[in-house]
A and B are shown apart, each in its own frame.
Chain A
């Protein structure tokens, strides 16, 4: 029996929850799993990276690659190709449908294609590439200070290092710029870094579970990491990466959200109506981080 899970028409960190719920209901003994993206019309960097995580998790769970139908809309499929999605998906999915040839991303919206992150050298490559591409969009496009590129590089580096140091497996990072018309009415740059590894709760359990007692779980683990800056290492110098990201994101009025296991935590700016902590979500492996940097508010004329 093949279990079919529909990929939402618009796949982002919000609609991902419905997708994750459907995915969690796939029977463990399903012979194959088909992720049906034929009607998908748009995917955020978070959506693309999380879809790869789903592919990896399904492969681990069922012992064979899941099936993925390519978006039927040619423009959408081409965009996914330019965003580097199919180059990574080929190893994780049996792809069905016409996969466009990947071309160099001429589109400025794709600041960083979906890029695998496994070792420290990958982090260097990512930071190096983003410096050149992000400078113009951050300063001219978003109206941030010229030095913002350095802070952006730092945030990206720390997001990637979370994967290298804590996931126990590889992951992916992607960066895109686009306009959030309905949610914000401004341009944003979005970083997504996702893995299907062990997740925050597993990582922090040996050092933090006792401290939290009955409250211990995915939500408490995220709270410990993002709010309290704790790490699995006892060295006081550790656990500063997420705090560093928070500092620069706060400075730009941005947003950071992390989903891990069955919980999701967010530091919410004034322009957003998200909730700080959600628990009891559908289980999904690893950790998925999203950073949103909005265009600076221009003074009224």
Chain B
């Protein structure tokens, strides 16, 4: 099941109803707690789409608390809600901000910008990023397809794709790899 969460609405419900900006670490913590509480009430959620469309200013501290911490806590074995995370409605400025925050912590996730384009934010290897781009563009791909397009060995392509699966950036069914659903 896919859950779409309006981050601005969570901000309002988190006792910050008079503020329209995602700034300060304490605000970020409150918003993240709100999101985690929602996910605990809905344990069948497998993909969480965080919608930033109504967010104006986002600072690094808040991006760390809301996005990076949520990502770290939802990693396998981290004890948090085990769901795939996708960001939507990001302004270019927000996307750059989150990208920097994730890179610093060797994290990565899929984001959909306000124009609709998808990009991978954060730090991943060159081949892994290229593999993600192929899967995202094709809608699905096998390791053979990626190896052929990137002119790399099948083992390298498979390693890159499996890394993407492990980092929850694509899904896998049998020998096919798929981009994360976000609708």
Contact = CB atoms under 8 A, between A and B. Distances in A.
Interface of A: 120, 123-124, 127-128, 131, 147, 150-151, 153-154, 157-158, 161, 164-165, 229, 236-238, 240-241, 243-244, 247
Contacts of B6: none
Nearest to B21: A127
A120 B101 contact: no
Nearest to A251: B96
Interface stretch (B23-31, B42-50, B162-170, B171-179): B23-31
B114 to A, nearest CB: 11
B100 A153 contact: no
Residue of A124, A151, A247 ringed by the most chain B CB atoms within 10 A: A124
Contacts of B109: none
A146 to B, nearest CB: 10
Contacts of A124: 16, 18-19, 21, 23-24, 27
B64 A157 contact: no
Contact of B105 (A161, A236, A243, A247): A236
A247 B100 contact: yes
Contact of B60 (A123, A150, A241): A241
B124 interface: no
B62 to A, nearest CB: 8
A247 B61 contact: no
A48 to B, nearest CB: 24
A65 to B, nearest CB: 31
A245 B60 CA distance: 9
A151 B61 contact: no
A240 B58 CA distance: 13
A147 B21 contact: no
B60 A128 contact: no
Nearest to A150: B93
Contacts of B60: 154, 158, 240-241, 243-244
A236 B104 contact: yes
A240 B96 CA distance: 13
13 contacts: A120-B25, A124-B21, A124-B27, A127-B21, A127-B23, A128-B20, A147-B91, A154-B59, A158-B60, A237-B64, A240-B60, A240-B61, A240-B104
A157 B59 contact: yes
B23 A123 contact: yes
A46 to B, nearest CB: 22
A244 B62 CA distance: 12
B92 interface: yes
A164 B18 CA distance: 20
Nearest to A126: B23
A165 B59 CA distance: 15
Contacts of B21: 124, 127-128, 131, 153, 157
B57 A131 contact: yes
Contacts of B93: 147, 150-151, 154
Contact of B57 (A153, A161, A229, A240): A153
Contacts of A123: 23-24
Contact of B59 (A128, A147, A244): A244
B24 to A, nearest CB: 4
A240 B101 contact: yes
B97 A244 contact: yes
Contacts of A151: 93
